[in-house]
A and B are shown apart, each in its own frame.
Chain A
Amino acid sequence: MNPINFVILAAILFSIGSAAVLLRRNAIVAFMGVELMLNAANLALVAFSRIHGQLDGQVMAFFVMVVAAAEVVVGLAIIIALFRARQTISLDEPAELKG
């Protein structure tokens, strides 16, 4: 089976993740959608690395994982700070700032 099928699978996962980001109000769930999109990109990178027989794609996926770990730490810290300030993690609540 051609590894390009994994890239198609990655495209499907990416769309599911983007739909979750657009749809959900819970900040943590939307954040998990972002994680799914990052992982879909990783899967595409690894599949391309397999197709081309080079290791650069896998190294890039490794870098994406490192950046995603840093991003999760900062993002969850932001969510905790938001919860402390407003007692909610809904993404719509801060919109009341616009009046």
Chain B
Amino acid sequence: MVSPVLFWVVAILTVVPALSLLFARKAVHIAMSIVCVMVGLAAAYVGLDAPFLGVVQIVVYTGAVMMLFLFVLMLVGVDQREDTRETIKGQRWIAFFTAGGIAFLLISVLGRVSIAPQAARVGNPEEIALVLFGRYVLVMEVLGALLITAAVGALIMTHTPRLTPRRTQSEVQAARVLAGADPVNKPMPGVFARHNALDVPARDPEGKPIEHSVSRVLEARHQMSDGDEFRTRLENTSNPEDSQLPNGAPSADSDERTPRIGEEDQK
């Protein structure tokens, strides 16, 4: 016999979250509630002597199907507003009435059924496998074909044809040169690196600083250092005015740096 406690726990754990299908506004909340329903159903299967199906329910439904739902939800519709105006007049009441009618019909018939339960056969993997690969082996093969067809069908359905020809690497490079952009990568900042010298521009072969090698962010905050100034500071570390210098110059005897221009007024 099935424990009544299990039945009522499962009933509450499934019916209450399932009602969110009708009343919740956000689709993500509904998906998470359905995950809860699936876990409750898995508990019911275990309680009904079908442990194999209970595990499969968790793996297939909460693990795969509902996560696929959430994935697609994030992909297309997580910010889509559901319009609540009715295109068919009275559709809401017709829907409630129809569903209530189905429930009433089914429950009124099922309430009169009296079947004495037989002794349970526990559906553990061995028993299920004996039935599955015995009487139902042909169905099993057909289902394999169905799964492959579904996978190929999903691939075809979500496939988008390429409208423009693929650009090769040399074409990309030619377009870059034509547009007058730098044909190679930007130089890295950080000549005369003494501290984290991302604020010191790199130099070109003539020795002139390449201003755009420093990040735009540092430039906007006025935290760029001048390379020459920095070198002077480095070579002249015995300068007693060292600590008075701006732009984070290091002093001879300590690693602490003075605040940079513009850093003060941000604090």
Q: Which residues of A contact B (CB under 8 A)?
A: 1-9, 11-20, 22-29, 31-33, 35-36, 39, 42-43, 46-47, 49-56, 58-59, 61-63, 65-74, 76-81, 83-84, 88-90, 92, 95
Contacts and interface: CB of A to CB of B under 8 A. Distances in A.
A1 B4 contact: yes
B99 A18 contact: yes
A10 to B, nearest CB: 9
B80 A26 contact: yes
A8 B82 contact: no
Contacts of B2: 1-3, 5-6, 50
A70 to B, nearest CB: 4
B57 A65 contact: yes
Interface string B39-69: 0010011001110110011001100110011
A6 B82 contact: no
Given A20-B21, A35-B65, A68-B65, A77 B154 contact: yes
B50 A16 contact: no
B102 A92 contact: no
A14 B102 contact: yes
A69 B59 CA distance: 11
B253 to A, nearest CB: 65
Interface stretch (B86-94, B174-182, B188-196): B86-94
A55 B128 contact: yes
Interface size class of B (residues with CB under 8 A): 35 or more
A17 B21 contact: yes
A36 to B, nearest CB: 6
Given A14-B102, A22-B98, A84 B41 contact: no
Contact of A18 (B49, B83, B102): B102
A80 B156 CA distance: 12
Contacts of A67: 143, 146
Contacts of A7: 110, 113
Contacts of B107: 8, 11-12
A28 B27 contact: yes
A49 B21 contact: no
B132 to A, nearest CB: 6
A73 B68 CA distance: 8
